[in-house]
Structure 1
Amino acid sequence: MSGDRTKASKESHMRYQSVFTPGLFDGRTVVITGGGSGIGRCTAHELAALGARVAIIGRDPDKLARVRGEIEADGGLVSTHAADIRDEPAIIAVIEEILAEHGRIDGLFNNAGGQYRSPLESITTKGFEAVVRNNLTGGFIVMREVYNRWMKENGGAIVNMIADIWHGWPHFSHSAASRGGMLTLSESAATEWAASGVRVNTVAPGSIASSGLDTYDPKDTEFIQKKVAREIPLQRFGTESEVSAAIVFMLSPAANFITGTCLRIDGGAPNAKPGWWDLAPAERNEPFDGFHRSTLPDILAGRTNS
């Protein structure tokens, strides 16, 4: 990561530096869950910069308000909706609220979720079910309600968040199970909902330099700082902008013949074969960071995680 960029110099652009054409999402409304931080926040900024009316959903009203202030300061259009995606009645109410305010829902980025690091033998049933409900059941509720209440009669595009789950995910088995379920759920929906003009795809980020890294326990700090990037062929963490670009593409008209597909954004991590191939330092692969308000997570910037 090019850590010498300062927040002040990036904010001097005052606009997201997207690779996509200006106005690409003019007149469209896109819903983003988990829009108050990390990849959700970044994607909301990019879509707003491209002309979308963005509706961000999250559990923390204060985080949503901060993102709204940022987007509006940059000239974008955004509404905020506080709800937990695991709460079915709340999500139904929020989708109706968004339709009442914006009149349409053209895209959905099902981003909300999370996990914690733990060996399988130590995961409690309650902990396992909480992660599954957050990463799978909640996303199912949101996409079903968006489909039934708007997209079934009007078409649209859905992008669901999964992760680098290929060949299993040791110490994150609860998340691997739920993200794998989201993959096959999305593949199923892609067929069932195609007749309505609804495309359903997934994105699978690997190790991304996002605020989500700061949510892990202090016992995982050394693992994240010293081991993770060394096991990736491109030898670095990805940026939020590199994930956002993939999501924006999948939501855009350029992807109108793509459905039931998963796009990996992982630096080639699943392709590395420990013991068979020693990874060398990677060269000539500069991170793309078009988000003028991005900062490194504390754990990678050397700041104390308070």
Structure 2
Amino acid sequence: MQYASVFRPGLFAGRTILVTGGGSGLGRCTAHELKSLGARVALAGRTQEKLDRVKEELGDPDTFTFAADLRREDEVKAMVDGVLGWSDGRIDGLVNNAGGQFPAQLRDISLNGWNAVVNNNMTATFLVSKAVYLGSMDKHGGAIVNVGADFELGNPGMGHNGAARAGQTNFTYTASVEWAHSGVRVNSVLPGFIASSGLDRYPERAHGVLRGVKGRVPLKRHGTESEIAAAIVYLLSDAAAYVTGIALRVDGGLHNAGKSNFYEVPDHDRSTPYNGFPLYRRPKVLE
């Protein structure tokens, strides 16, 4: 079944786009949409088996895959070199989607745990972006989209993730200025609570929060993987040619509701989800 994208067919024809964290969840969904729009897709992630599974789903033997620890500069360089060798020296778009975190209070986070989340969510974004910029975009231009998380009000219960995402988004702001002269746009997408497979990796103690959070969201539901992929596709596309250095929240209004002390959104079912991904499966934790 074809991905039901809202964007025009052939939008990315002739363009090479690298998606990190492409073996599952948001990265997998984004890869499917980009492929449906004509892009040559390269997938990077930690587990080759997952990447191979997505490649098979895409039905294109030309899809490039590379398993690497994106926290390690040598492995990132080897990955980017591999993509450039496959793509005749160009990477037109980069989606920095790889990352991970776990719930814990600051007092309980070990140094190793802190470093792991910071390196996964901030350092890897820097390393991959820099390698892609130096390897291709400095000469040819391009678009980078970093997938982060809201951090502005802090991240109680996951302070390591809040710190990492703040740094990641600040990197977006800086790179959008420093790399503009090369024709490179750099933006961030900040998902809210998305009904993605990643929710099933959270420990059981977090399941109640994951299920109940939709009551705090003004649109009164979880987001879909396709709604994040669509935001990424927009920022990669020519329609966003004058958009750089922004952090686009896709959270159903959760951030704004978090600031409200005198208003509670009534329960409703007026928000219709968009789901263009035929292989999407709702995470078990939300069933």
Where on the TM-score scale, by shorter chain, does this alignment land: which range? over 0.9
Give 4+ residue runs of structure 1 displaced > 2 Å after superposition.
Answer: none
Amino acid at match of 2:243: I
**Percent of aligned pairs with the same residue?**
49
Matched with 1:204 is 190
SS at match of 1:159: strand
Pair 1:85 & 2:70 matched = yes
In the alignment, is the contact (CA less than 8 A) between 1:35 and 1:64 conserved in 2? yes
Do structure 1's residue 122 and structure 2's residue 108 form an aligned pair? yes
Distance 1:214 1:34, change over 3 A: same
Whether the aligned pair in 2 keeps the contact of 1:48 and 1:76 (CA below 8 Å) is no
CA contact (8 A) 1:48 1:77 kept: no
The alpha-carbon deviation at position 164 of structure 1 amounts to: 2.0
**One-letter amino acid matched to 1:78:** T
Aligned twin of 1:5: none
Which residue matches 1:30? 17
Whether the aligned pair in 2 keeps the contact of 1:53 and 1:76 (CA below 8 Å) is no
Deviation per residue, 1:205-239 (Å, 9 max, x gap): 000000110111111112212x2111111111000
SS of alignment partner, residue 100 of structure 2? coil
For the residues of structure 2 that align with 1:123 and 1:24, how far apart are their CA atoms?
A: 44
Q: Distance in 2 between matches of 1:188 and 1:61?
A: 32
Cα RMSD for the two superposed structures: 1.1
Pick the aligned partner of 1:295 from 252, 268, 281: 281
Q: Could you tell me which residue of structure 1 aligns to residue 224 of structure 2?
A: 239
Q: For 1:141 and 1:248, locate their aligned partners in 2 and report how far apart those are by CA, in whole Å.
A: 22
Mapping of residues 1-306 of structure 1, within 5 Å:
14-72=1-59, 77-103=62-88, 104-225=90-211, 227-272=212-257, 273=259, 275-301=261-287
Superposed CA deviations along residues 177-202 of structure 1, whole A, max 9, x for unmatched, are 00000111110000000000000000
Determine if contact 2:220/2:271 at 8 Å carries over to the other structure: no
Please report how far the alpha carbon of residue 145 of structure 1 lies from its aligned counterpart in structure 2 after TM superposition.
0.2
Distance 2:98 2:176 in 1: 20
**Match for 1:177: what amino acid?**
A
Q: State how far apart, in whole Å, the 2-side matches of 1:223 and 1:186 are.
A: 29
SS of structure 1 residue aligned to 2:44:
strand
SS of equivalent to 1:228: helix
Gaps of 5+ in 1: 1-13, 302-306
Distance 1:249 1:262 in 2: 13
Once the two structures are TM-superposed, the CA of residue 274 in structure 1 deviates from its matched residue by 5.5
Q: CA deviation at 1:168?
A: 1.0
Q: CA deviation at 1:279?
A: 2.4
> Take 1:77 and 1:157, find their aligned partners in 2: how far apart are those partners?
22
Q: Which amino acid aligns with 1:205?
A: P
For residue 186 of structure 1, give the secondary structure of its aligned residue in structure 2. Answer: helix
Q: Is the 8 A contact 1:208 1:238 kept in 2?
A: yes
In the superposition, the TM-score normalised over structure 2's length comes to: 0.97
C-alpha distance after superposition, 1:89-120 (max 9, x if no partner)? 11101111111111110000000001000111
> Counterparts of 1:242 and 1:76 in 2: how far apart (Å)?
27
Q: C-alpha displacement at 1:166, in angstroms?
A: 2.4
Q: Distance in 2 between matches of 1:277 and 1:116?
A: 31
* Aligned partner of residue 63 in structure 2, secondary structure: strand
Aligned partners of 2:29, 2:256: CA distance in 1, in Å? 27
Give the aligned residue type for 2:180. A
* Counterpart contact for 1:143–1:158, Cα < 8 Å: yes
Rounded Cα–Cα distance in structure 2 between residues aligned with 1:293 and 1:183 = 30
